[in-house]
Structure 1
Amino acid sequence: MTEPARDTIHCARFLPHPPAAVWRALTDPELHARWWAAGDVKPLVGHRFTLDMGSFGSQPCEVTAVEDERLLAYRFAERTLDTTLTWRLEPEGTGTRLFLTHSGFDLDSPMGRQAYEGMGRGWPHVLERLDAALGEAA
């Protein structure tokens, strides 16, 4: 058995919504802005976009993998953090199990370590907002 990478954050959450609804919240810019950050996200490999992270500024991203209603991955904060976000959806009963992997933090740099620690605490709250936004959209 291999140990999880130390530079990676893992989160999982059951959402009582079908995969199509969760996928839409991950890939529709209007819905995405309601639960996390404004930006022109699209499920198209090679698509470049920015996410407005408020006081953390606009963060450039590039989609690296797409499997419709199953997987969305993109590079996040290119040229600063240079991390990767991977969203994986698995149908579960009448809902969806959503897995988030945020990988590639440079834990040897103060900024990388601070981002890893802050986002490790923050991602569960972001997923709570996603669940709430899905409930409002239903």
Structure 2
Amino acid sequence: MTTDPEDDLTVIRVDQFLPHPPAKVWRALTEPELLAQWQMPGAEDFRLEVGHRYRMTSVPRPNSRFSGVVDVRVLAYDDGRMLSVRWADADPANPVDWTITWTLEQEGRGTRLFLVHEGFDPDDPAQMTARTIMNGGWRGHVLRALGHTLERLR
């Protein structure tokens, strides 16, 4: 018996085609001033350097115990192809430890963007609430904002 990847409550997987070349998408993922346009405030402190740490802010979500502050650390990257970061809530009372990995693949004249957001605890109701919110956020608001940034980018 095989399991549907969507049944894995520990992860969010997004597969999105973007009508822009991989180099342009990579710029939006890794150039601080572009990243800040579509992600959270604080992303302008990003550096493409393993071990680099920065902090982003957003709206607190008490129903998921999210403080509104994300501590981020760059875990790994393969220039032009993959970026992996760790997200942790700045509030130690919310013990989230998530890994977000972006992978780019050329597809025709565009890019197939894969996002894997992993580390959700299916036994923690607040993390399952966070997973539901973030699943919709990645697929809706965030990818739309990324698309708008790419459209404006020359």
TM normalised by structure 2 equals 0.82
Distance of 2:149 and 2:38 partners within structure 1: 6
Match of 1:93 among 92, 95, 108: 108
Q: Does residue 1:82 correspond to 2:93, yes or no?
A: no
Please name the residue that 1:64 is paired with.
75
C-alpha offsets along residues 27-83 of structure 1, whole Å, 9 cap, x if unaligned? 112111111212222221111111222445221011111000100001112553211
Give the superposition deviation at 1:92: 1.0
Distance of 2:73 and 2:18 partners within structure 1: 26
Give the counterpart letter for 1:60 in structure 2: D
Please name the residue that 2:57 is paired with.
52
Distance of 1:25 and 1:77 partners within structure 2: 22
* Mapped contact 1:50–1:60 kept (Cα < 8 A): yes
Give the superposition deviation at 1:2: 5.7
Give the counterpart letter for 1:49 in structure 2: Y
Give the counterpart letter for 1:83 in structure 2: W
* Mapped contact 1:15–1:95 kept (Cα < 8 A): yes
Please name the residue that 2:48 is paired with.
43
Q: Report the aligned-residue RMSD.
A: 1.7
Q: Does residue 1:11 correspond to 2:11, yes or no?
A: no
Runs of 5+ in structure 2 lacking a partner?
61-66
Please name the residue that 2:153 is paired with.
137
* Mapped contact 1:107–1:116 kept (Cα < 8 A): no
Runs of 4+ aligned residues of structure 1 deviating over 4 Å after TM superposition are none
TM normalised by structure 1 equals 0.91
Aligned-residue sequence identity (percent) comes to 46
Change (3 A) 1:31 1:54: farther
